[in-house]
């Protein structure tokens, strides 16, 4: 990967450090609706969702179980088809974006193949995409370094801790260098100390690579710590009840969580969640 690969916004006037026009939308939803038809009747999973995510933003989605967070991510990934409204990813339809490999997807469970080494797991998407051997080797080494797992290429998933497996899963999603990373509760199953460390590492990785992140979580501190924008969702039918642009600086040591600004944002998220629940 070149420096520009890792910092795609670097020479862009509208990038995170630029002073030009607003950066283009990577993800844009207008009046998005999705109703699942089930044997028990229709389930209105998303209702009138409007959202614009700019290049290089870190956007977290938080809300009670069943409010449509995963469904929204799956729509962006072209894995669900909305029943109303419009959705674009890099100005393409989600289906086109999926075929153009516009995103990497990280799931709650690391989902590594146990019979493949860590290197073999990271190499898998590159094999599917037909990268030449030397390029595969370079990208595996590069992404292992990005997630601080160099030296673990030949280990099998069971030889790694849960946190390391999740880092390997992030490396796999990064290996083909998509500008957009979709992460569905990637750290939900990990203990708090490991999660804190991975949050710090993820933020550093985001800062280094300039990628756009869409991140689902149930944790208020995690959402506030990581995000430049927090999308609060409410259930039945899933809709956005608040969008909070974080005033926190890009550089965030963990103890920023004790600051007044952090506590205020966390309070606003909690209020948004409560209001959403009261409205049900
Ligand atoms: N394929 C499907 N068919 C029918 N209903 C579905 C399907 N996928 C999701 N749903 C329903 O849509 C709603 C939103 O589900 P979704 O998984 O997006 O919620 P979520 O906010 O991600 O929940 P959680 O936090 O528990 O993961 C739920 O009521 C769920 O049961």
pLDDT digits (tens, 9 = 90+) for 26-78: 999 999 999 999 998 999 999 999 999 999 999 999 999 889 999 999 999 99
Nearest CA to ligand 1 atom 26: 65
Which CATH number characterizes residue 260's domain?
3.40.50.300
Q: From the CB of 69, is ligand 1 less than 6 Å away?
A: yes
Residue 58: give the domain boundaries.
25-102+219-266
Judge whether 38 lies within some domain.
yes
Give how far Cα 145 sits from Cα of 25, 28, 160, 164, 166, Å.
Answer: 29, 32, 16, 13, 14
| Per-residue confidence (pLDDT) for residue 148, from 0 to 100 | 85
Cα angle 7, 13, 15 (rounded to 5 degrees) comes to 45
Give how far Cα 256 sits from Cα of 64, 187, 272, Å.
Answer: 25, 20, 22
Judge whether 183 lies within some domain.
no
| Per-residue confidence (pLDDT) for residue 243, from 0 to 100 | 94
Nearest CA to ligand 1 atom 8: 71
Specify the DSSP class assigned to residue 228.
Answer: S
Element (H, E) at 272: helix 260-278
Judge whether 69 lies within some domain.
yes
Regarding an ipTM greater than 0.90, the answer is yes
Judge whether 258 lies within some domain.
yes
Q: From the CB of 37, is ligand 1 less than 6 Å away?
A: no
- The answer to whether 70 and 63 are in contact (CB under 8 A) is no
Judge whether 77 lies within some domain.
yes
Please identify every stretch of the chain with a pLDDT value under 70, giving residue numbers as ranges: 1-23, 278-280
Q: Is 209 helix (H, G, I), strand (E, B) or coil?
A: helix
Please, which residues have CB within 8 angstroms of residue 149's CB and are 6 or more apart in sequence?
118, 164, 167, 168, 171
| Distance from C-alpha of 128 to C-alpha of 235, rounded to nearest angstrom | 37
Ligand 1 atom with the smallest distance to the CA of 218 is 25
Counting the structural domains of the chain, the total is 1
Judge whether 238 lies within some domain.
yes
51: which 2 tokens? 């959202």
Pocket test for ligand 1, best of 41, 42, 68 (most atoms within 8 A of CB): 68
| Per-residue confidence (pLDDT) for residue 63, from 0 to 100 | 93
Judge whether 30 lies within some domain.
yes
185: which 2 tokens? 């509760």
């Amino acid at each position: 990967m070149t420096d520009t690969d890792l910092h795609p916004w670097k020479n862009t006037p509208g990038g995170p450090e630029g002073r030009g026009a607003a950066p283009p939308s990577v993800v844009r939803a207008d009046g998005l609706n999705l109703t699942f038809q089930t044997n028990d009747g229709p389930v209105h999973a998303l209702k009138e969702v409007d959202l614009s995510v700019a290049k290089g933003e870190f956007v977290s989605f938080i809300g009670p179980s069943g409010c449509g967070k995963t469904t929204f991510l799956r729509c962006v990934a072209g894995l669900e088809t909305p029943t109303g409204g419009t959705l674009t990813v890099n100005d393409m339809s989600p289906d086109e974006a999926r075929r153009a490999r516009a995103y990497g997807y990280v799931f709650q469970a690391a989902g590594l193949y146990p019979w493949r080494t860590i290197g073999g797991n990271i190499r898998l998407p590159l094999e599917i995409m037909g990268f030449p051997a030397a390029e595969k080797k370079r990208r595996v080494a590069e992404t292992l370094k990005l997630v601080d797992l160099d030296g673990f290429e030949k280990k099998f998933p069971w030889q790694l801790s849960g946190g390391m497996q999740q880092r390997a899963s992030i490396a796999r999603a990064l290996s083909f260098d998509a500008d957009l990373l979709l992460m569905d509760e990637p750290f939900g199953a990990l203990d708090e100390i490991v999660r804190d460390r991975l949050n710090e590492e993820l933020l550093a990785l985001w800062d280094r690579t300039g990628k756009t992140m869409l991140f689902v979580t149930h944790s208020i501190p995690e959402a506030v710590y990581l995000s430049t924008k927090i999308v609060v969702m409410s259930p039945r039918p899933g809709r956005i009840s608040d969008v909070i642009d974080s005033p926190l600086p890009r550089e965030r040591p963990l103890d920023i969580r004790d600051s007044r600004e952090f506590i205020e944002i966390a309070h606003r998220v909690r209020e948004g969640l409560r209001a959403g629940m009261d409205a049900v």
